[in-house]
């Protein structure tokens, strides 16, 4: 059968726009092509832009191109969680391919000038083609980028005109053809299943344009991969970054889509920028913008710059490359949604037009890089050298952080090294005379132990290292003044993303920044995976401490294997084994016959340390046969998803359970909950929702059944917006409420101020006796806050209910931008609230503790809520 095409009805108006004599849908007229290289139509069976190309056809076309053109090399750089290949295409002239290994060595030398002989870097700059990274459709539903990339691949693989040959001689083009195969497949499936042979519906609300929950934007776990470049929680991001660092591209372009009624965006970005970005970037933004503008002007197309999109957050697909010295640029084409959509101005936006614009912009990028190759590569080389020199003389020279007993510092080091950042280790104890602790503003000399980690910002990746590690990301005072004025007049602020991501705080490690590098440091070698020595054969029990990701995984695996585990709420010492409160106990006599082998195997898999305990009688503390040592009831966990739930938030919780904790959960929707499906479960996790939407989805009967399930012994865990839902008085499950917005119009009579906090880190204190905080050392901790949602404290507050509370007004701000009135508003409010409801319990997080898999210091707290919530 023949497939219906978007050109039927919906795209008929664009057929006349195809260049005459072109070998692909976006080519300029008059080009010449190698007939041995197959056109897109010859392999796909349709012109690019006639339909969305599914993954199987993307790969088929790439295979055919690579088999027929010596200009193209294909590498598999990873697989998605759903098993789809991640490809990277290296496209350049045959002559460059013949010396590709040499050119890659030159690229590495230019990127890291340390130890180079005199003139060595300059010689490499002269030899090296400009390296251009083109990454397509990281958001699965922003699908025109993939079609544009296939068109450019054909142009470079088959074009025989002088301009294409110059581009191939002077550049190495690295094409990531499909950054998010899992999300794109959701999109193509949604569109294909709603195709009509009578034409493509262009109404915005049509099924092909509306899609299904949670939409195709995200990965398998519903993460936004355009925020994951430095976090690298996903194999797509890990493979992408490792490929990037093999070549260190000089230009990096990330192709996206925006609202259908917009035009086309390209760099320069608007404020705020990241103050760690290299100095040469604005010059090149203007150079490339002139080329992009000229290419669009030739077609009479509209575009805009310096509006809508910033470069502040370091995890974007163009923001992370900028911090390496690459000219990172974002392209945003107006979306065609499901292939054709009616814009607000009545015009039809089509897939072909969206892809054609993307093709035009990225082809102009390649040509410009080729024409100005030596200047571009030279500026890049100087930026890498300047990263070393600038930070060697800068006021913030290094960050030092101590190793902890729970592996968080080691995990942070692994993350930094995955970002190409050099890390050193102290070879002996040292005094940091010029140290400023994170969270403080004054120098406080510190004594740190041998083995502590040191990150010297005087390195080629120094801009990125500082951006990820500094306590606070700098914002221009002029930008803040303008934002305050927007807010005062009731207008939307321009914060595009979060403003706090300092990794030492996110990982909850003790850290200092210093003006100098401490003496006695050595490079960190390859970090071995966390392992544990096999415990001695226990006579009475095995014990392990809470609080680390390794111990969390061990507990989860033991419960999953139906091993009986107990929780000791008080400290104890048995022989050489010393445990703070909250240790987990596996008694031998009452467990399965192979318990010794099971504990050893699971501990080795998790990398957790386990002690063998000889007797229930301990040397110090409470005996292990005490009634205070309570059994951990293996939870049966359900995770609520579906339309009322925010897709990203669902994904964060799902990923935490599935990948970090390693505990099974059943994904359910509101109809399952409303239909008494929870009877088989002991824990329900509800990620962030819109309260009214969840009310509608559950209905009165569903709300009643859910409340009855909790009172009958269920544990309800709510995150972020779901906590606003559970705090409704009519549910009657908790006594805390959401504070009514206390922000009012100012004295000048302006409109009420919009609420919200743009993703900050706050100080918090906690109840050290709560099982939810098992394994967390006493003291203040950083917590992520992403809204102005404030839980109230009832007058009859009971012990143990306010598990975590934000700090006092003068201490609550830790990192990120707080609106002026926010410290007073959020001070001392509960961050985690737990309350008995009948025989059950509610554990309510005011904000999301597992947001983006970024704030790893919060993960054990969430895990304790899930795994221990039904046991106390």
Contact, 859 vs 872, CB < 8 A?
A: no
Cα 86 from Cα 239, distance rounded (Å): 8
Cα 852 from Cα 842, distance rounded (Å): 24
Query: Of 585, 551, 554, 579, which Cα lies nearest the Cα of 567?
Result: 585
Cα 638 from Cα 839, distance rounded (Å): 19
CB atoms within 10 A of CB 444: 12
Do 672 and 820 belong together in one domain? yes
Do 642 and 786 belong together in one domain? yes
Do 705 and 834 belong together in one domain? yes
Q: Which of 362, 388, 414 is the last residue of a domain?
A: 388
Q: Which of 496, 523, 550 is the last residue of a domain?
A: 523
Do 234 and 381 belong together in one domain? yes
Residue 19 has pLDDT above 80, yes or no: no
Contact, 756 vs 788, CB < 8 A?
A: yes
Question: Is 199 domain-assigned?
Answer: no
Cis amide leading into 214 (omega within 30): yes
Cα 633 from Cα 560, distance rounded (Å): 11
Residue 645 has pLDDT above 70, yes or no: yes
Cα 533 from Cα 574, distance rounded (Å): 18
CB atoms within 10 A of CB 672: 18
Contact, 319 vs 229, CB < 8 A?
A: yes
Question: Is 6 domain-assigned?
Answer: no
Structural domain of 627: 541-632
Distances, alpha carbon 655 to alpha carbons 221, 662, 829, in Å: 6, 9, 28
Torsion sign over Cα 220, 224, 226, 232: negative
Cα 649 from Cα 393, distance rounded (Å): 42
Cα 435 from Cα 699, distance rounded (Å): 57
Question: Is 736 domain-assigned?
Answer: yes
The encoded tokens of residue 549 equal: 């990701």
Residue 755 has pLDDT above 70, yes or no: no
Cα 791 from Cα 825, distance rounded (Å): 10
Question: What is the rounded average pLDDT of the residues 436-440?
Answer: 96
Do 371 and 415 belong together in one domain? no
Contact, 110 vs 248, CB < 8 A?
A: yes
Say what percent of the chain tops pLDDT 70: 94
Do 602 and 654 belong together in one domain? no
Residue 145 has pLDDT above 50, yes or no: yes
Q: Which of 574, 599, 632 is the last residue of a domain?
A: 632
* Residue pointed to by tokens 């890990």: 238
Identify the band that residue 750 occupies on the pLDDT scale cut at 50, 70 and 90: very low
Torsion sign over Cα 679, 685, 691, 693: negative
Do 689 and 833 belong together in one domain? yes
* 95-121 pLDDT tens trace: 999 999 999 999 999 999 999 999 999
Q: What is the pLDDT of residue 200?
A: 72
DSSP-derived secondary structure for 280-302? THHHHHHHHHHHHHHHHHHHT--
Question: Is 852 domain-assigned?
Answer: yes
The encoded tokens of residue 135 equal: 């990454």
Q: What is the pLDDT of residue 211?
A: 76
* Residue pointed to by tokens 């990820």: 468
Q: Which of 236-240, 332-336, 738-742 has the lowest mean pLDDT?
A: 738-742
Cα 839 from Cα 307, distance rounded (Å): 54
Residue 63 has pLDDT above 90, yes or no: yes
Distances, alpha carbon 233 to alpha carbons 504, 653, 667, 762, in Å: 17, 13, 21, 23
Q: Which of 12-26, 273-287, 633-647, 808-822 has the lowest mean pLDDT?
A: 12-26
CA distance from start to end of the chain: 62
Torsion sign over Cα 222, 228, 233, 236: positive
Q: Which of 292-306, 368-382, 522-536, 858-872 has the lowest mean pLDDT?
A: 522-536
Query: Of 425, 352, 335, which Cα lies nearest the Cα of 142?
Result: 335
* 510-543 pLDDT tens trace: 999 999 999 999 999 877 666 677 899 999 999 9
Query: Of 378, 302, 292, 372, which Cα lies nearest the Cα of 329?
Result: 292
Cα 6 from Cα 427, distance rounded (Å): 65
Cis amide leading into 68 (omega within 30): no
Q: What is the mean pLDDT of the chain?
A: 94
Do 95 and 176 belong together in one domain? yes
- Give pTM, 2 decimals: 0.95
Cα 41 from Cα 25, distance rounded (Å): 9
Do 384 and 399 belong together in one domain? no
Question: Is 261 domain-assigned?
Answer: yes
Do 356 and 423 belong together in one domain? no
Question: Is 206 domain-assigned?
Answer: no
Question: Is 201 domain-assigned?
Answer: no
Cα 567 from Cα 741, distance rounded (Å): 40
Contact, 396 vs 457, CB < 8 A?
A: yes
Contact, 720 vs 847, CB < 8 A?
A: yes
Q: What is the pLDDT of residue 125?
A: 98
Cα 607 from Cα 662, distance rounded (Å): 13
Query: Of 398, 403, 439, which Cα lies nearest the Cα of 421?
Result: 398
| Domain harbouring 837, CATH code | 3.40.50.880
| Domain harbouring 344, CATH code | 3.40.630.10
Residue 23 has pLDDT above 60, yes or no: yes
Residue 13 has pLDDT above 50, yes or no: no
Cα 421 from Cα 398, distance rounded (Å): 12
Question: Is 844 domain-assigned?
Answer: yes
Q: How far is CA 95 from the centre of its chain?
A: 39
The encoded tokens of residue 706 equal: 């859910």
Number of domains comprising the chain: 4
Cα 333 from Cα 149, distance rounded (Å): 14
Cα 684 from Cα 673, distance rounded (Å): 9
Do 171 and 83 belong together in one domain? yes
Cα 643 from Cα 641, distance rounded (Å): 7
Do 492 and 559 belong together in one domain? no
CB atoms within 10 A of CB 412: 27
Cα 367 from Cα 166, distance rounded (Å): 8
């Amino acid at each position: 059968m023949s497939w219906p095409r978007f050109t039927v009805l919906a795209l008929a108006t664009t057929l006349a726009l195809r260049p005459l004599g072109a070998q692909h849908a976006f080519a300029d007229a008059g080009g010449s092509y190698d007939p041995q290289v197959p056109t897109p139509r010859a392999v796909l069976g349709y012109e690019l832009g006639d339909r969305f190309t599914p993954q199987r056809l993307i790969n088929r076309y790439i295979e055919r191109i690579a088999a027929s053109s010596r200009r193209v090399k294909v590498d598999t750089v990873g697989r998605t969680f759903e098993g789809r290949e991640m490809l990277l295409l290296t496209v350049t002239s045959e002559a460059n391919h013949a010396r590709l290994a040499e050119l890659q060595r030159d690229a590495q030398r230019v990127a890291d000038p340390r130890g180079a002989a005199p003139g060595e870097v300059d010689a490499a700059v002269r030899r090296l083609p400009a390296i251009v990274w083109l990454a397509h459709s990281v958001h699965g539903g922003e699908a025109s980028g993939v079609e544009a990339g296939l068109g450019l691949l054909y142009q470079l693989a088959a074009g025989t005109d002088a301009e294409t040959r110059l581009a191939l001689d002077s550049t190495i083009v690295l094409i990531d053809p499909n950054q998010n195969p899992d999300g794109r497949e959701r999109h193509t499936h949604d569109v294909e299943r709603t195709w009509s042979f009578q034409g493509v519906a262009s109404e915005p609300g049509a099924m092909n344009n509306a899609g299904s929950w949670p939409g195709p934007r995200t990965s398998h776990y519903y993460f936004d991969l355009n925020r994951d470049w430095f976090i690298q929680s996903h194999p797509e991001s890990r493979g992408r970054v490792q490929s990037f660092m093999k070549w260190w591209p000089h230009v990096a372009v990330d192709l996206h889509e925006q609202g259908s009624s917009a035009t086309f965006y390209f760099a320069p970005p608007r404020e705020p920028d990241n103050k760690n970005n290299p100095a040469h970037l604005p010059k090149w933004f203007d150079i490339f913008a002139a080329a992009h503008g000229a290419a669009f002007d030739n077609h009479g197309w509209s575009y805009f710059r310096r509006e809508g999109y910033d470069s502040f957050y370091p995890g974007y697909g163009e923001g992370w490359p900028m911090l390496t010295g690459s000219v990172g640029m974002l392209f945003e084409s107006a979306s065609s949604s499901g292939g054709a959509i009616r814009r607000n101005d009545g015009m039809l936006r089509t897939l072909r037009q969206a892809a054609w614009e993307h093709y035009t912009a990225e082809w102009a990028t390649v040509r410009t890089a080729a024409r100005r190759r030596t200047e571009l590569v030279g500026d890049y080389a100087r930026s890498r050298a300047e990263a070393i020199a600038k930070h060697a003389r800068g006021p913030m020279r290094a960050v030092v952080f101590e190793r902890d007993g729970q592996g968080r510092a080691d995990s942070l080091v692994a993350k930094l090294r995955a970002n190409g950042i050099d890390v050193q280790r102290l070879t002996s104890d040292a005094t940091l005379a010029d140290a400023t602790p994170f969270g403080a503003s004054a120098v406080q000399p510190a004594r740190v132990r041998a083995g502590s980690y040191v990150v010297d910002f005087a390195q080629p990746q120094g801009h990125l290292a500082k951006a990820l590690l500094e306590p606070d990301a700098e914002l221009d005072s002029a930008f803040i003044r303008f934002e305050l004025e927007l807010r005062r007049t009731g207008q939307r602020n321009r914060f595009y993303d979060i403003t706090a991501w300092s990794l030492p705080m996110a990982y909850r490690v003790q850290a200092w920044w210093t003006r100098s590098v401490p003496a006695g440091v050595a490079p960190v070698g390859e970090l071995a995976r966390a392992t544990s020595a096999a415990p001695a054969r226990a006579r009475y029990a095995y014990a392990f401490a809470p609080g680390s990701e390794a111990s969390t995984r061990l507990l989860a695996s033991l419960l999953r294997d139906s091993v009986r585990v107990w929780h000791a709420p008080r400290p104890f010492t048995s022989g050489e084994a010393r445990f703070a409160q909250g240790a987990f106990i596996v008694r031998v006599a009452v467990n399965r016959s192979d318990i010794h082998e099971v504990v050893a195997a699971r501990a080795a898999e998790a990398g957790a340390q386990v002690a063998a305990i000889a007797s229930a009688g301990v040397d110090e503390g409470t005996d292990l046969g005490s009634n205070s040592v309570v059994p951990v009831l293996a939870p049966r966990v359900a995770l609520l998803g579906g339309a009322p739930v925010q897709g990203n938030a669902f994904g964060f919780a799902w990923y935490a359970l599935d990948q970090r904790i390693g505990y099974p959960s059943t994904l359910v929707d509101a109809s399952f909950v409303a239909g008494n499906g929870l009877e088989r479960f002991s824990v329900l996790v509800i990620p962030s929702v819109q309260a009214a939407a969840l009310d509608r989805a559950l209905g009165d009967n569903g709300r009643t059944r859910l409340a009855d399930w909790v009172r009958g012994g269920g544990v309800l865990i709510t995150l972020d917006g779901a906590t606003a839902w559970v705090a409704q008085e009519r549910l009657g499950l908790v006594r805390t409420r959401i504070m009514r917005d206390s922000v009012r119009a100012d004295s000048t009579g302006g409109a009420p101020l919009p609420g919200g906090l743009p993703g900050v880190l706050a100080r918090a204190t906690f109840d050290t006796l709560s099982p939810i905080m098992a394994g967390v050392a006493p003291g203040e901790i950083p917590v992520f806050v992403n809204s102005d949602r404030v839980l109230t404290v009832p007058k009859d507050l009971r012990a143990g209910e306010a598990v975590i509370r934000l700090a006092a007004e003068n201490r609550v701000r830790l990192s990120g931008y707080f609106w002026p009135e926010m410290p007073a508003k959020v001070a001392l409010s509960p961050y985690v609230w737990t309350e008995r409801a009948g025989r059950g319990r509610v554990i309510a997080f005011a904000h999301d503790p597992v947001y983006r898999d970024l704030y790893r210091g919060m993960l054990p707290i969430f895990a304790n809520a899930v795994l221990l919530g039904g046991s106390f």
